[in-house]
């Protein structure tokens, strides 16, 4: 049977896929979306662990394109909890009648570019094959779960969970629980479950202590909401021109431009207001690039840890020793949890986990921590991890994995990869490092524009003659069959963009810390730049400029 033909297939139905589907459908394309999950939500579908919360202000953690919905949809806290975000996305899907074109419990297993037809042949987990003109992936930056390579992890006879695949029936009540990992996820989870009526005992296995500041969550009054509603367009405009789109005033003020007393006061204000990005980028402008400035921020946070955690030994273990240069964290009372008698911190940097036994976790010193539940909050093979596990083959049968094997993940504008025509990535490598929904919106709109331009070759950069249109989706130039509507990134443009991202991140202290942002969290993974560090606003401007400049760096055939 001939494969089903689609103008566009959207893979994934999180923030990215939902909007992409709508945009392409509005453009008149025959489009369908697939998702491995049983419902929409992406990240928020999978990461349903207790305490999951967005740490972007609620008014910017949503879509901006539906003004009526923006002002009407109810929310009344500074931050949204995971289940609220999931409900919001389900609501958007219903409101725009998108569900009828989504096929759930369906995974893309392979995608192969067919040069003759100018189409992708996509193999699905259901056994179906699709023939697709435009393949748009919204796989998520953080979706391939990373399990720690700890001996005998599979021998544990209690319950073993990963936060990125949280089971609906998880039950921690009265249980002895171990958590490995204390990144954004671990910090949220530990804070949410530490109370004794939640767990009996909690052991936090910590390899690298992290800096975290208060989130500053709270109820938003009806008046505040009204104010936001009144100036929503202005708020979005400003956010989309800013670096991080978190909704706070970003600053260039150098840390040492003020007296030590003023500095203390500015840090204190940022601490009281809350939010990790605000603390790192809203108090001073050089914390992420100047080591001495960074030390000032480190010392301030460490002082807070010592003031909060009463047990000196626990406080010592919780104080980081490295640069404050990972994705900035915030919490709803993380350090306070360690004042509970049922909560302990286990330093596995100096005393690593030797093995998991059927009963629990044994550290190198021989001590066994008996557990009923072991939770891995150990993060993700971020950015490219979700692409390289799928057999995606472009021109000449070369896979994306091979394309990236030597240099790490690269792309042109975070959107396309050379020799992979008509394959688009939302949040691909070297996209903006910022609040994600507005970055996603910008990329979806640019992808939609590119597809629109590709379909009208005579109106674009004119590389194709329209002579001999045969009524199908093919053109004939110089006697060769050339498929209409094929767009691709040039290799040179991809190289230049990678170089640009290298340069933009060169000064960043983030490069010097072993986190997922440069691919350093996965043993054996190629360390590489994976983000455009120039800010969301400049990214949008730069990318739109290149598209308007006669599709610079792209080729249409």
354 binds ligand NA7 (CB under 6 A): no
Q: Which residue is nearest to ligand NA7 (CB)?
A: 183
Concatenated DSSP letters of 184-204 = HHHHHHHHHH-STTT-SEEEE
238 binds ligand NA7 (CB under 6 A): no
Give the interface size with ligand NA7 as a residue count (CB under 6 A): 20
Q: How far is the CB of 55 from ligand NA7 (least distance, A)?
A: 8
Q: How far is the CB of 151 from ligand NA7 (least distance, A)?
A: 11
Contact code string over 485-514 relative to ligand NA7, x by CB under 6 A = -----------------------------x
The span of 184-192, 266-274, 418-426, 530-538 binding ligand NA7 (CB under 6 A) equals 184-192
Pairwise CA distance, residues 246 & 257, whole Å:
24
H or E element: which one contains 382? none
Which of 45, 521, 529, 554 is in the footprint of ligand NA7 by CB under 6 A? Answer: 521
Which distant-in-sequence residues (6+ apart) come within 8 Å of 1 by Cβ?
A: none
Residue 29, beta-bridge partner list = none
The span of 96-104, 182-190, 259-267, 438-446 binding ligand NA7 (CB under 6 A) equals 182-190
148 binds ligand NA7 (CB under 6 A): yes
Closest to ligand NA7 by CB, 378 vs 448, is 378
- Residues in the chain, total: 557
Which of 41, 216, 379, 421 is in the footprint of ligand NA7 by CB under 6 A? Answer: 379
Pairwise CA distance, residues 217 & 227, whole Å:
18
The span of 27-35, 180-188, 271-279, 361-369 binding ligand NA7 (CB under 6 A) equals 180-188
Contact between 179 and 190 (Cβ < 8 Å) = yes
Pairwise CA distance, residues 161 & 143, whole Å:
15
Which of 33, 80, 86, 180 is in the footprint of ligand NA7 by CB under 6 A? Answer: 180
Contact between 369 and 343 (Cβ < 8 Å) = no
Pairwise CA distance, residues 431 & 449, whole Å:
17
User: Which of 365, 283, 281 lies closest to 325, judged by CA?
Assistant: 281
Contacts 24+ apart (CB under 8 A), 505-509: 505/529, 505/531, 505/533, 507/289, 508/288, 508/289, 508/325, 508/533, 509/288, 509/289, 509/291, 509/294, 509/323, 509/324, 509/325
Burial class of residue 288 in the structure, from the number of CB atoms within 10 Å of its CB (0-12 exposed, 13-18 middle, 19+ buried): buried
Which of 27, 110, 208, 241 is in the footprint of ligand NA7 by CB under 6 A? Answer: 208
Q: How far is the CB of 104 from ligand NA7 (least distance, A)?
A: 23
143 binds ligand NA7 (CB under 6 A): no
183 binds ligand NA7 (CB under 6 A): yes
Which of 327, 340, 481, 555 is in the footprint of ligand NA7 by CB under 6 A? Answer: 327
Give per-residue burial for 298-316: e unless 16+ CB within 10 Å, then b.
bebbbebbeebbeeeebbe
142 binds ligand NA7 (CB under 6 A): yes
378 binds ligand NA7 (CB under 6 A): yes
409 binds ligand NA7 (CB under 6 A): no
Closest to ligand NA7 by CB, 385 vs 553, is 385
54 binds ligand NA7 (CB under 6 A): no
Question: Which tokens belong to 478?
Answer: 């110089």
363 binds ligand NA7 (CB under 6 A): no
Q: How far is the CB of 25 from ligand NA7 (least distance, A)?
A: 29
Closest to ligand NA7 by CB, 24 vs 329, is 329
Kindly list the residues in this chain that would bind ligand NA7 in the complex (CB under 6 A). Answer: 142, 148, 180-186, 207-208, 327, 348, 377-380, 514, 516, 521
């Amino acid at each position: 049977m001939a494969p089903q033909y689609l103008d566009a297939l959207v893979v994934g139905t999180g923030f990215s896929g939902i909007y992409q589907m709508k945009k392409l459908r509005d453009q008149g394309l025959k489009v369908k979306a697939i998702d491995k999950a049983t419902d929409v939500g992406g990240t928020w579908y999978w990461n349903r662990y207790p305490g999951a919360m967005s740490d972007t202000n609620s008014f910017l953690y949503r879509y901006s394109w539906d003004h009526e919905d923006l002002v009407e949809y109810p929310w009344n806290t500074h931050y949204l909890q995971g289940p609220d975000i999931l409900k919001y996305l389900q609501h958007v899907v219903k409101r725009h009648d998108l569900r009828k074109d989504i096929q759930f419990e369906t995974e893309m297993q392979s995608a192969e570019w067919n040069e003759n037809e100018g189409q992708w042949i996509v193999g699905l987990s259901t056994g179906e094959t699709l023939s697709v003109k435009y393949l748009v992936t919204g796989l998520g930056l953080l979706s391939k779960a990373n399990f720690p390579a700890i001996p005998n992890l599979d021998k544990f006879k209690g319950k073993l969970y990963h936060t990125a695949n949280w089971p609906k029936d998880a039950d921690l009540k009265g249980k002895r629980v171990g958590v490995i990992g204390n990144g954004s996820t671990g910090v949220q989870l530990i804070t949410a479950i530490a109370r004794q009526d939640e767990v009996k005992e909690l052991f936090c296995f910590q390899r690298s202590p992290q800096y975290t500041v208060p989130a500053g969550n709270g109820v938003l009054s009806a008046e505040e909401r009204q104010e936001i509603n009144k100036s929503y367009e202005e708020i979005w405009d400003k956010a989309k021109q800013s670096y991080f789109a978190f909704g706070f005033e970003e600053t260039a003020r150098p840390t040492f431009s003020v007296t030590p007393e003023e500095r203390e006061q500015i840090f204190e204000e940022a601490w009281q207001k809350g939010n990790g990005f605000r603390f790192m980028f809203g108090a001073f402008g050089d914390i992420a690039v100047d080591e001495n400035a960074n030390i000032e921020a480190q010392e301030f946070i460490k002082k807070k840890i010592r003031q909060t955690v009463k047990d000196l030994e626990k406080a010592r273990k919780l104080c980081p020793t490295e640069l404050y240069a990972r994705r900035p964290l915030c919490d709803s009372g993380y350090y306070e949890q360690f004042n509970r008698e049922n909560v302990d911190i286990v330093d596995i940097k100096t005393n690593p986990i030797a093995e998991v036994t059927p009963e629990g976790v044994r550290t190198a010193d021989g001590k066994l921590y008996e557990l009923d539940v072991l939770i891995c909050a150990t993060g993700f093979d971020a950015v490219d991890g979700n692409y390289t596990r799928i057999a995606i083959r472009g021109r000449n049968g070369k896979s994306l994995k091979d394309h990236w094997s030597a240099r790490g993940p690269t792309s042109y504008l975070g959107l396309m990869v050379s020799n992979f025509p008509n394959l688009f990535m939302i949040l691909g490598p070297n996209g903006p490092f910022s609040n994600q929904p507005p970055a996603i919106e910008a990329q979806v709109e640019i992808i939609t524009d590119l597809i629109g331009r590709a379909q009208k070759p005579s109106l674009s950069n004119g590389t194709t003659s329209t002579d001999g249109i045969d009524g199908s989706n093919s053109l004939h130039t110089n006697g060769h069959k050339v498929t209409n509507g094929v767009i691709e990134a040039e290799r040179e443009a991809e190289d230049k963009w990678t170089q640009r991202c290298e340069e933009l991140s060169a000064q960043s202290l983030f490069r010097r810390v072993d986190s997922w942002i440069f691919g350093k969290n996965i043993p054996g993974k190629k360390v590489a730049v994976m983000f455009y560090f120039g800010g969301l606003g400049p990214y949008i401007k730069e990318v739109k400029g290149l598209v308007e400049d006669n599709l610079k760096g792209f080729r249409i055939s």
